[in-house]
Structure 1
């Protein structure tokens, strides 16, 4: 095949709908972690093995393991032929697209073209299909699950994929569950439209149970949402029913464990999690959940035995719990430093509690370097780092820097509010100590500016400038704010 033919083949491949053309790419995800999670999923799950093999093939190809990727795709095709013979051609589109890409990366261009030919024949069945791909519910559904398993920044797109899939097949259990799961995850991020309507996922999980009353995973996920709304009686009934119906299903155990931990039955939660950990000892999610359980025990111990004297019998138990927390939190992020933000923050907090300040600071500095993460995650990192500098390192100036960075992220979340509240506390404390502290007025001015309160910002920068008349930063800020107000006045209808 000539270079020109190879370039033409690449143009055709770029038109496909498969993992190689969807959003998450090598620079956006932790491939080793995703690979481990997909392997765990294949081992634990019966329902979605074909999807996991498809995504695993993509990861293996990116890592240069093309022969292994071919084997993964062969497994996916085998599962689809055995379990979905009547819908095989609808469900094989993504797999054949991945196969064409893997063959292309291996230099097997004729083989890649043969899979394009197969796709072309399949797509002729669908009126709205393009030459090599068809945006049918099966493709939207698989894309949705792929995005959900990649990273948090893709949850919104995943939700839209499931909505598209359900437009043509509203009674599909798989896509209703995917839609409910995407909504549920988005609801946990303050600032998202979904967080203001937290009952959306509840309705969607109930829809899954209307279609399949014995769907244990939907039961425990619904129970967790009901628990948040203090509907504890129904939630407990759902969890107990799910565990009875699927006593050996690991995902049900994981979600049930979270329910019991939030119910303060930590021992039952740990028992469930440890059983699943025996099956998948490298699961980052399990290690994080176990760490959170031990942290809950630690907080309870600190509340009931506040004394930290070495002679106190609780001191040894406290030290042991801190080590267990650190061990499991670290296991939860060491293979996925780019996407596992919460476990790293939890680990850093434990390091602070253990007075291992250098380790905690290293974690915070690494987290600040992350790019492409959700805005509330960025704000949470700034909040935690600011509190660390304020409370552990006793540095108000560094704390101010981090809280301001959190406020600069243009996203309304509870973490942004925490940054603002802490800045206000510091500035007001500085002014109580010294009413002529120009730095305190600067901080208040910057807060006002970031909140869009330009006139209040001018007042505070004027006070700062009166106390420190040669400060160029204050003068520059005043000039910028006055010009901005003038521009607003000159163009009152400016959007």
Structure 2
């Protein structure tokens, strides 16, 4: 006899299940986003290893995050070694505050042992956390939301992907509420604001400048803050002060790749491209696998290349300018390729730039292959995917002369996110194509359908309905137009009833 659902006994929880419930209460890399499906683990591995090898500040933080990455990749023994290093560094650098600083490390230990099936060891770290956290919080006994936890979480999110920057801002704000003069958290806060301000669609004000200035008030030797502040001052035309900051930073930290990279960007924007290349070459000598450095040096060579294209002699193999052009093209291709070699999902811009150089050199098959690979990528941020659709569409329309492929790509780009510059460019190319086609043939069903799509995207429903109805007169069995028309009519009726 079957029991009724409401009479069934509750599912029995194993020791592992109960332990997992406790682990989910922790504050550590295993309970924070990003998770495995959203993080580019290979790219993160390279960057974390670089920061460890360079013996930069806060190396314990890098070991902690590296343990998380290694565990996700199945390297649990390595993860334990990473955590031992993190623990050792924290004991040396934060003697009086070691317990507060160890909350995340011990949480990571517990999770790694859980993944290794070592449940007793995982529980022992939970016991340690309970001892540490009880005096610090009235909340869950295995964690404490203190500045050290918020700050570490902020840095972890900052290192992961732009998708998590807004959450990182909140973490640093909470860390600074109770510890307002902590340069580690102020620098993290300034860095995430700086990155958000660099995203064109964000229209953020320059809040990062105030925080970078505050970092330098508290720590006048923070060279990374100097070059970041210099780049912000450059934007508002305060060239003299910006130059002085860059020179000071290079004197204090002549061998730190991040300082060299940002200084190189400053000089590139000042049109001192040779100086920028010199600094980037030096940085690459220290961290040869650094993809961002490769991207930056490729951009420098591209500046020189675009300037050379203005000289008509660069097209004639008989002149030295032609050989110079070929050398620059090879430099650009080499470094852009290196930039996305180990991070195809996150370095989409480098791949688009690589394709552009191929097009400029008449290598259309190589460019087509680059676009094909980009279009097959999964898990790409929407705005990056929109840019891929736009650039691939332009290539198909104007280089391959394939209108159908181009229209399809532009439409996909418009379906992602509107009010961006790339959305507007997709619209512009489609509108131009529609007008050209309808001038030649007012009964072109494809052009009428795309015109309807554009009106639909614009929110002009009655015009869209009219266009799709016309398109169906000449292509009555088109399922796409029928579906769009039904959706529009239904939406139109619902709106009228309101």
Normalising by structure 1, what TM-score?
0.92
What is the deviation of 1:157? 1.8
Query: CA offsets, 1:424-443, max 9 Å, x none?
Result: 22222323444443332322
Pairwise mapping of residues 350-429 of structure 1 onto structure 2 (< 5 A)? 350-429=357-436
1:296 lines up with 2:306 in the alignment: no
Task: Answer yes or no: is the 8 Å Cα contact 1:50–1:75 preserved in 2.
Answer: yes
1:151 lines up with 2:139 in the alignment: no
Find 1:480's aligned residue among 480, 487, 497. 487
1:37 lines up with 2:47 in the alignment: yes
What is the deviation of 1:469? 5.9
What is the deviation of 1:220? 1.0
Pairwise mapping of residues 432-443 of structure 1 onto structure 2 (< 5 A)? 432-443=439-450
What is the alpha-carbon distance in structure 2 between the residues aligned to residue 420 and residue 225 of structure 1?
33
Find 2:218's aligned residue among 201, 206, 211. 211
Q: Aligned residue for 1:51?
A: 61
What is the alpha-carbon distance in structure 2 between the residues aligned to residue 362 and residue 335 of structure 1?
18
Find 2:261's aligned residue among 254, 257, 267. 254
Task: Answer yes or no: is the 8 Å Cα contact 2:461–2:492 preserved in 1.
Answer: yes
Q: Aligned residue for 2:25?
A: 15
Q: Aligned residue for 1:430?
A: 437
Find 1:201's aligned residue among 182, 196, 208. 208
Query: CA offsets, 1:260-308, max 9 Å, x none?
Result: 1111111111111111111111111111111111111111111234652
Deviates more, 1:34-43 or 1:178-187: 178-187
Normalising by structure 2, what TM-score?
0.92
Q: Aligned residue for 1:86?
A: 96
* Change over 3 Å in CA distance of 1:430–1:76 after alignment to 2: same
Q: Which runs of 5+ in 2 are unaligned?
A: 1-11
* Change over 3 Å in CA distance of 1:400–1:232 after alignment to 2: farther
1:312 lines up with 2:322 in the alignment: no
Please give the secondary structure, in 2, of the residue aligned with 1:325.
helix
* Change over 3 Å in CA distance of 1:336–1:100 after alignment to 2: same
Please give the secondary structure, in 1, of the residue aligned with 2:254.
coil
Please give the secondary structure, in 2, of the residue aligned with 1:408.
helix
What is the deviation of 1:66? 1.9
What is the deviation of 1:467? 5.4
1:120 lines up with 2:127 in the alignment: no
Q: Which runs of 4+ in 1 moved over 6 A?
A: none
What is the deviation of 1:124? 1.2
Query: CA offsets, 1:70-103, max 9 Å, x none?
Result: 1211111111111111211111100111111122
Find 1:183's aligned residue among 185, 193, 211. 193
How many residue pairs are counted as aligned between the two chains?
487
What is the alpha-carbon distance in structure 1 between the residues aligned to residue 210 and residue 410 of structure 2?
37
Deviates more, 1:385-394 or 1:208-217: 208-217
Q: Which runs of 5+ in 1 are unaligned?
A: none
